[in-house]
Amino acid sequence: MDYGTYRGILTLVILVLFIVIVVWAYSKRSKNRFDSAANAIFEDEKKHNNTLSNEEKESEK
């Protein structure tokens, strides 16, 4: 096998890997996990705001 054959095989492997990643990313099975990760920052913000409001209530006492 020569250098061109190795490059062709490597290109095919990378193409297959790309297709597998795209199928995985757009599969319905992964959607819930991705949605959860995307909304995690908003949940942290709500927890932070609740903590601040609780601290304010305690300082008023």
11-35 pLDDT per residue, tens: 999 999 999 999 999 998 888 888 8
- Output the pLDDT for position 60: 63
Contact 7, 1 (CB under 8 A): no
One-letter identity of residue 19 = I
Q: Report which residue type is found at 49.
A: N
Confidence (pTM) = 0.56
